[in-house]
Amino acid sequence: MKKQKIAVLFGGCSPEYEVSLKSAYSVITHMDRRKYDPVLLGITRAGEWFHFVGAPQQIVDDTWHNPANCERAIISPSREVGGVLIFGGDGSICSIGLDAAMPVFHGKNGEDGLVQGLLELAGIPIVGCGTLASALCMDKDRAHKIVGATGIRVPRAFTLQGAGDMERSAAEAEVLGYPLFVKPVKAGSSYGITKVSDKSDLAEAIEIAFRYDDAVILEENIEGFEVGCAVLGQGDHLTVGELDEIELVDGFFDFKEKYTLESSMIHVPARISAQQAVEIKAVAKRIYRALGCSGFARVDVFLTPSGEIVFNEVNTIPGFTPHSRYPNMLKAIGMSFGEVIDRVIALAVGGAKSDSICA
């Protein structure tokens, strides 16, 4: 059987660059090499694209970007190429046809539809969500509006498009009530998010959020706890993992807690009734479809003390290590990490592209 060439894209101009390296390393080292020939495309923090041919360990160590293992490369927007152009130091240009590409970015400039748009323009199948779904899910304001239109409860919120209107922000915050959350509209891994308990801290929280995006959302605090749902597939053919539950001692699930779990725990399955689990899985699938998701995504909701389900967000490229939440929820229904990767690639892969060409 001819191996399929699957590009794995990692790194990027994002505060979550290092998280991307860890996820990409795990994906690469768990791909079935009997089926797939990975083509590794790294993007530096400065936005330079390279074809990487070194050991996967260099990616997780962030020593991958070096002259011995890299040549400049780009995804060609031309459908005739259908893949990657590699520029050799001797002036040669090689092309590698791709059967699919798997963006393993987190946050802006990768998870937000920009790279997905390039792949769609080039006619390269995407492992994961497409351009529109990626952009919508990254935009907390628009995602909430769309999901709210389906009848699912979303947090009350106010979106601030510029830092100048602090007077109105203060008035809207009073309507929402304290505590509340101040978040960049488009950012991941809880970067720039502050839980504000007193109006005297509002201005600083807004300033912090604006460091990560040009729009900021003030969002009501939802009493209860967060439940995650791993969804895999597209259309009516969806696989849903066991739900997980985030148990917090204090504060919220910020960047530090997500990657250290110093004062929090993640329970799989979530400690809720069987009926509540059925309801949340059904809501997660509705959200996944409403936002146009395909391939895979993690849908996060809140469960209030009264049992009401409230939408939080969708991560179109959740953490992808064997210890991350998404694969662990699928592991709980019997899918190994390697099987998850195989399934999401299989959803994207079409007919074989052209072979490599050098000139």
Q: Residue 339 corresponds to which tokens in the numbers above? A: 């099987």
The owner of tokens 């797939």 is: 36
Q: What is residue 261's predicted lDDT score, i.e. its pLDDT?
A: 54
158-203 pLDDT, tens digit each: 999 876 677 889 999 999 999 999 999 998 767 899 999 999 999 9
Q: What is residue 15's predicted lDDT score, i.e. its pLDDT?
A: 87
Instruction: State the chain's mean pLDDT as an integer.
Output: 92
Instruction: Please report, in angstroms and rounded to a whole number, the separation of the first and last CA atoms in the chain.
Output: 27
Single pTM value for the model: 0.91
265-308 pLDDT, tens digit each: 999 999 999 999 999 999 999 999 999 999 999 999 999 999 99
CATH number of 4-127: 3.40.50.20
51-66 pLDDT, tens digit each: 999 999 999 999 999 9
Q: What is residue 191's predicted lDDT score, i.e. its pLDDT?
A: 85
Q: What is residue 189's predicted lDDT score, i.e. its pLDDT?
A: 64
The owner of tokens 């996944």 is: 288
256 pLDDT higher than 80 = no
* C-beta of residue 72 within 8 angstroms of C-beta of residue 86: yes
Give me the residue spans of the domains in the chain.
4-127, 137-153+223-316, 157-220
| Residue 240 to residue 208: CA distance in whole angstroms | 36
What's the burial of 14, exposed, middle or buried (CB within 10 Å: 0-12/13-18/19+)? buried
151 pLDDT higher than 80 = yes
Q: Name the CATH code of domain 157-220 (choices 3.40.1170.10, 3.40.50.150, 3.30.1490.20, 3.30.420.40).
A: 3.30.1490.20
* CATH topology agreement for domains 4-127 and 157-220: no
Q: For a pLDDT cut of 90, what percent of the chain falls above it?
A: 85
CATH number of 137-153+223-316: 3.30.470.20
Alpha helices in the chain, H assignment, sequence order = 17-30, 56-60, 114-122, 131-138, 140-149, 166-176, 202-210, 255-260, 274-290, 325-331, 337-348
DSSP string, 236-257: TEEEE---EEEEESSS---HHH
